[in-house]
Amino acid sequence: MEIYILDDLFRRETVVDRFESLIWTEKYSAYGNFQLRMHSTFANRSLIKAGQRLAINNSRRVMTVENIVATNDDNGESYFTASGRSLEAILEDRTATSGVVDGTETLEWTISDKTPGDQARYIFATMIENGYNSNNDAIPFYTSGSLYDPGTLIESQEIDSLLIEPATVYNAIRKICELSDLGFRLYRGEDTSKLYFDVFIGNDLTSSQSSMPAVIVSPDMDNLTNTTELTSIQQYKNVAYVYGKYGAKKVYIQGVTESISGFERRVLLVIADDIEEPAGTALQALLEQRGKRELALQRNISALDGELPKDNRYVYGVDYNLGDVIEMRNEDGVTNRMRITEQIFVDDAVGERSYPTLEVELFITPGSWAAWDYNVVWEDAVGEWADA
């Protein structure tokens, strides 16, 4: 793996070719991070400094050196470890509020009648591109447009109004994206001194579509190894009791009715006393919105981590990207639609390797309707009806 130190214009300037290990993680709806371990020599200490920007040959993302820690091991060897976050972290240093004018701050900000994706784009455009709070909030080298094609998956088209409490631009955008299965990225355009920002959704790369080559991984196909599966219902909630300043409302997740009871009823308490709308229809709509957003953060967790072998045919950035939905088949005959939420690059004494983190988008149980291909007509479908 090649690591580059970027100059002040985000161009590759110096190659870092001597290091002990590198872990480089990119994420779909959050900033990524890295950790670089090197021998603590004068040359290396002079090379890596806090505040520098790093890039690798496998990616368009940029990392910032934020921490440097020097250590001595039991053998008397001296090392230092540089670590930091990807460029999206700069959005934590910008606020999403309705403005600060002459020392008077209006904290709440309402974005009306937009889809979730457009809400996130509007926040970035207002606060970063247009410098609503200050022209100095602009990000250097930002250029409108994208270097990626639009995803084939469909963003939510639900029109909604969003009430934003005082927050950073990063937290406001991330919350919207997490609730709507969207991703965001701030990345460089090679050595062009240009940065781009996208709110995006990935491609459908499962075998249920025919417009793009499918990406199918399975231990049985020898293209997925060292797997770890996580399933958790610990944080799951299906009902929210939302209390505003002048009213309250019960909110249910999709597919759950008010009759749910007993051990199946899992209630989330939401204090929304920042909503000062007087009692009435408008207040109930705002409380409903808040409840749905908070419940969406309390979902069941089902994730898979595994390594793609070095000779694997699927290449990140070529065959798949963050946000894409691929197909995973396990040894139990279950096929899952999995969204790629992270891509991790590792280069150490063992060698180079790269692997994604996958989260379940849809379980497909053998024999269920979802297990049938839905992109074919009846006369072309494989199989036949069994006798009753």
254-291 pLDDT tens trace: 889 899 999 999 999 999 888 888 999 889 988 998 89
Closest to 340 in 3D by CA, of 327, 353, 357, 328:
357
* Res 311: pLDDT: 64
Closest to 315 in 3D by CA, of 353, 341, 348:
353
Closest to 368 in 3D by CA, of 335, 337, 339, 330:
335
Q: Which of 24, 59, 85 is the last residue of a domain?
A: 85
Q: How far apart are CA 199 and CA 36, in angstroms?
A: 28
Both 133 and 8 in a single domain? no
Both 279 and 309 in a single domain? no
Is 286 inside any structural domain? Answer: yes
Residue 115: half-sphere exposure toward Cβ, Cα within 13 Å: 12
Both 220 and 349 in a single domain? yes
Contacts of 260 (CB under 8 A, 6+ apart): 238, 239, 252
Both 17 and 41 in a single domain? yes
Average pLDDT score over residue span 248-253: 93
Q: Which of 23, 51, 85 is the last residue of a domain?
A: 85
Q: Which of 85, 112, 135 is the last residue of a domain?
A: 85
Provide the β-strand partners of residue 27.
342
Is 330 inside any structural domain? Answer: yes
Paired tokens of 186: 């701030």
Residue 71 Cα distances to 6, 135, 139, 156, 370, angstroms: 26, 42, 35, 49, 53
Q: Which residue has the tokens 């505003």?
A: 244
Both 126 and 224 in a single domain? no
Paired tokens of 254: 């999709």
Q: How far apart are CA 332 and CA 325, in angstroms?
A: 20
Both 15 and 35 in a single domain? yes
Both 160 and 96 in a single domain? yes
Q: How confident is the model at residue 363 (pLDDT cuts 50, 70, 90)?
A: very low
- What is the pTM (predicted TM-score) of this model? 0.76
Write out pLDDT tens, residues 181-197: 999 999 999 899 999 99
Q: How confident is the model at residue 22 (pLDDT cuts 50, 70, 90)?
A: very high
Report the C-alpha dihedral over residues 134, 137, 140, 145, rounded to 10 degrees. -90
CATH assignment at residue 153: 3.55.50
Write out pLDDT tens, residues 96-155: 887 655 555 556 788 888 999 999 999 999 999 998 888 899 999 999 999 999 999 999
- Mean of pLDDT over the chain: 84
DSSP string, 173-228: HHHHHHHHT-EEEEEE-TTSS-EEEEEE---B-STT-SSS---EE-GGGTS-EEEE
Burial bucket for residue 315 (CB in 10 Å: 0-12, 13-18, 19+): exposed
Q: Per-residue pLDDT for 373 more than 80?
A: no
Domain that holds residue 307: 216-232+301-371
Phi-psi region of 102 (alpha: psi -120 to 50; beta: other; left: phi over 0): left
Both 143 and 185 in a single domain? yes
Q: Give the residue, 54 or 380, on which the prediction is more confident.
A: 54
Both 103 and 222 in a single domain? no
Q: How confident is the model at residue 309 (pLDDT cuts 50, 70, 90)?
A: low
Closest to 4 in 3D by CA, of 63, 46, 44:
63
* Res 127: pLDDT: 92
* Res 116: pLDDT: 93
Is 170 inside any structural domain? Answer: yes
Question: Minimum mean pLDDT among 78-82, 173-177, 216-220: which range?
Answer: 216-220
Both 56 and 184 in a single domain? no
Both 220 and 266 in a single domain? no
Is 385 inside any structural domain? Answer: no
* Res 3: pLDDT: 95
* Res 307: pLDDT: 64
Contacts of 357 (CB under 8 A, 6+ apart): 303, 304, 305, 340, 341, 342, 343, 344
Is 109 inside any structural domain? Answer: yes
* Res 369: pLDDT: 35
Is 259 inside any structural domain? Answer: yes
Is 344 inside any structural domain? Answer: yes
Q: What is the CA radius of gyration of the chain?
A: 24
CATH assignment at residue 69: 2.40.30
Average pLDDT score over residue span 200-216: 92
Is 18 inside any structural domain? Answer: yes
* Res 357: pLDDT: 83
Paired tokens of 316: 């990140």
Contacts of 303 (CB under 8 A, 6+ apart): 229, 230, 341, 357, 358, 359, 360
Question: What percent of the chain stands above pLDDT 90?
Answer: 51
Both 153 and 284 in a single domain? no
Total domain count for the chain? 4
Q: Per-residue pLDDT for 379 more than 80?
A: no
